[in-house]
């Protein structure tokens, strides 16, 4: 039986919504089949008021052991480092986070905000938000780069906005069944099993990408063309399994005609949401994508793109998924 305590900081509850939609396993399965003891969760916890406060203090003081401390949302440090923009159960949330992280066997950041600061940490960041162990791509965040939980692990970052339900539940199952040592992390502390491949991997538009055939307009044949060239798709630069582990078991953003906006990466949201940057490929000299697929150089990419366009077969200019 592994105890799980879940708190929320600067969050929209999106990761909670995602978690509650889990199917393999479901949240019920986690409790009945995998022995998760859900000590408290903002949407599922039964305790309120003084009872809840006592429970939290018992966890924070080590009276009640916490095996897995899950945090959703950014850590709000403002104003002036006091954290009083986010008060929960009579004290700044950041104080709860510090105490609970010190007691937990494992600390898990769920979502981009808890992992890297996410949307709340976007400039000018009025709440002084940050991630648990990273601020954007920089190690540190709230707990510091050297933080290790009682089990000797750094914060496990399940990035995403939101994280896919399977990414959350499968990591919780691994931790709850004593397989923490099997979770290999990348340099941003994301589980490699989910964050090594790209959104691009398995996208049904890959044939179009290969021959540099662009989608022409939103809603104009959502299954035709690739969204990289005009619509700002970040699939080739974003580490996620979104086209391998489908959403709702059937689709993904890019399959539905929506560009990947890179929500599993520390820079998300990109370009500080400046007008004209969302859903628009940023280009140099009007034609060259400012960012090319990870691992490719601009010159190599340009040469390959030109050749691919010339050699594009006729099928690459059509909708391949006509029913
Ligand atoms: S739509 Fe995006 S993820 Fe899909 S093939 Fe094009 S660039 Fe890759
Ligand atoms: S497709 Fe991209 S933006 Fe959408 S959930 Fe996956 S990684 Fe995030």
What is the residue extent of each domain of the chain? Answer: 2-195, 197-318
Q: Is 233 close to ligand 1, i.e. is its CB under 6 Å away? A: yes
- Reading the chain (323 residues) residue by residue, the pLDDT tens digits are 899 999 999 999 999 999 999 998 999 999 999 989 999 999 999 999 999 999 999 999 999 999 999 999 999 999 999 999 999 999 999 999 999 999 999 999 999 999 999 999 999 999 999 999 999 999 999 999 999 999 999 999 999 999 999 999 999 999 999 999 999 999 999 999 999 999 999 999 999 999 999 998 876 666 789 999 999 999 999 999 999 999 999 999 999 899 999 999 999 998 766 787 788 898 888 888 888 899 888 888 888 888 999 999 998 888 877 65
Enumerate residues lining ligand 2, CB below 6 A.
Answer: 160, 199, 238, 240, 242, 252-253, 260-264
pTM: 0.95
Do β-strands 91-92 and 87-88 pair in parallel, antiparallel, or remain unpaired? Answer: antiparallel
Q: Please choose from 161, 238, 239 the residue to mutate so as to test ligand 2's pocket, defined by most ligand atoms within 8 A of CB.
A: 238
Q: Is 200 close to ligand 1, i.e. is its CB under 6 Å away? A: yes
CB-based contact 237:281 (threshold 8 Å): no
Domain over 197-318 is classified CATH 4.10.480.10: yes
Same fold, 2-195 and 197-318: no
Which atom, in ligand 1's list, is nearest to the CA of 215? 1
Report the CATH fold assignment for 2-195: Rossmann fold (3.40.50)
Q: Is 260 close to ligand 1, i.e. is its CB under 6 Å away? A: yes
């Amino acid at each position: 039986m592994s105890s799980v305590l879940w708190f929320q900081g600067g969050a929209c509850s999106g990761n909670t919504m995602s978690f509650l939609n889990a199917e393999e396993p479901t949240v019920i399965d986690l409790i009945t089949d995998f022995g998760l003891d859900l000590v408290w969760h903002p949407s599922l916890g039964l305790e309120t008021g003084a009872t809840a406060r006592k429970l939290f203090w018992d966890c924070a003081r080590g009276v009640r052991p916490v095996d897995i401390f899950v945090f959703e949302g950014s850590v709000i440090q403002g104003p002036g480092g006091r954290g009083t923009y986010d008060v929960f159960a009579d004290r700044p949330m950041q104080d709860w986070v510090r105490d609970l992280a010190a007691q937990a066997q494992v600390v898990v950041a769920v979502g981009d905000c808890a992992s890297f600061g996410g949307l709340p940490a976007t400039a000018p960041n009025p709440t002084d938000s940050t991630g648990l162990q990273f601020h954007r791509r920089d190690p540190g965040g709230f707990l510091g780069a050297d933080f290790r939980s009682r089990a000797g692990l750094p914060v496990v970052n399940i990035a995403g906005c939101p994280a896919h339900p399977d990414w959350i539940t499968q990591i919780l199952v691994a931790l709850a069944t004593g397989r923490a040592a099997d979770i290999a992390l990348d340099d941003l502390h994301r589980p490699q099993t989910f964050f090594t491949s790209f959104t691009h991997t398995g996208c049904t538009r890959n044939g179009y990408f290969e021959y540099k055939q662009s989608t022409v307009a939103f809603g104009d044949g959502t299954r035709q063309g690739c969204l990289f060239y005009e619509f700002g798709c970040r699939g080739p630069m974003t580490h996620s399994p979104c086209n391998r582990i489908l959403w709702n078991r059937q689709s993904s953003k890019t399959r539905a005609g929506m560009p990947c906006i890179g929500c599993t990466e520390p820079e998300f949201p990109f370009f500080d949401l400046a007008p004209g940057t969302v859903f628009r490929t940023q280009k140099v000299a009007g034609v060259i994508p400012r960012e090319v697929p990870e691992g490719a150089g601009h010159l190599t990419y340009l040469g390959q793109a030109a050749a691919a366009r010339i050699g594009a077969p006729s099928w690459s200019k059509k909708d391949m998924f006509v029913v």
